Amino acid sequence: MPIDPTTVIDRRRLLRIGAGTTTGLLMSAGAAAETLPGPSPIDRGGVKDGKVAFPPWRGEADRPDAPRPTVLPPEQRVGFAIVGLGRLSVSEILPAFGECGQAKPVALVSGSPEKMSTLARQHGIAPEACYGYADFEKLRDNPAVQAVYVVLPNAMHREYTERAAAIGKHVLCEKPMATSSADARAMIAACDRARVALMIAYRIQYQPHHLRVRQFVRDKTFGRLVAFSAGNVQTVHPTGAEQWRHKRALSGGGALPDIGLYCLNTARFVSGEEPDEVYARQFSPAGDPRFAEVEETIDFMLHFPSGLVAHGMSSYGAREDKWQRLQMERATLEMPNAYDYEGQRLLIGQRRGDDKAQEELVLQRKNQFAAEMDHFAECIRGGKGPRTPGEEGLRDHVLMEAIYRSARTSQPVKLG
Ligand code: NAD
Domains of the chain: 74-204 (3.40.50.720), 208-364+390-414 (3.30.360.10)
Reduce the DSSP state of residue 107 to 3 states and report it: strand
Q: pLDDT tens across 185-233, in order? A: 999 999 999 999 999 999 999 999 999 999 999 999 999 999 999 999 9
Q: What was the pLDDT predicted at 12?
A: 43
Q: Which of 66, 107, 73 is nearest to 381 (CA)?
A: 73
Nearest Cα to 240, choosing from 284, 282, 288?
288
Q: Which of 131, 149, 169, 175 is catalytic?
A: 175
For residue range 318-355, list pLDDT tens digits in order. Answer: 999 999 999 999 999 999 999 999 999 999 999 999 99
Residue 176 CA, ligand 1 centroid: distance in Å: 11
How far does residue 179's CA lie from ligand 1's centre (Å)? Answer: 14
| CA–CA gap between residue 222 and residue 296 (Å, rounded) | 36
Ramachandran category for residue 399: left, alpha or beta (phi over 0 → left; psi -120 to 50 → alpha): alpha
- For 20, which DSSP code? T
Average pLDDT, the chain: 93
Q: Rg (Cα) of the chain, in Å, rounded? A: 27
d(CA 392, CA 181): 11
DSSP H helical segments within 180-237, as ranges? 181-194, 208-219
**Exposure of 104 by Cβ count < 10 A (0-12 exposed, 13-18 middle, 19+ buried)?**
buried
Band of residue 414 on the pLDDT scale cut at 50, 70, 90 = very high
* CA–CA gap between residue 396 and residue 416 (Å, rounded): 14
H or E, element range at 312: strand 309-315
* Tens digit of each residue's pLDDT (9 = 90 or more) over 249-287: 999 999 999 999 999 999 999 999 999 999 999 999 999
- Which residues touch 221 (CB under 8 Å, ≥6 apart)? 215, 331
- Could you give the CA distance from residue 199 to residue 390 in angstroms, rounded to a whole number? 6
- 175 carries an active-site annotation: yes
Q: Ligand 1 site: residues with CB under 6 angstroms?
A: 84-89, 111, 151-154, 174-175, 201, 203, 244, 250, 258
The DSSP code for 157 is: H
Please tell me the distance from the alpha carbon of residue 71 to that of residue 23, in angstroms, as a whole number: 44
88 CA: nearest ligand 1 atom: 26
In the annotation, is 133 catalytic? no
Supply the pTM of this predicted model: 0.92
Compute the distance between CA of residue 264 and CA of residue 277 in angstroms, rounded to an integer.
Answer: 13
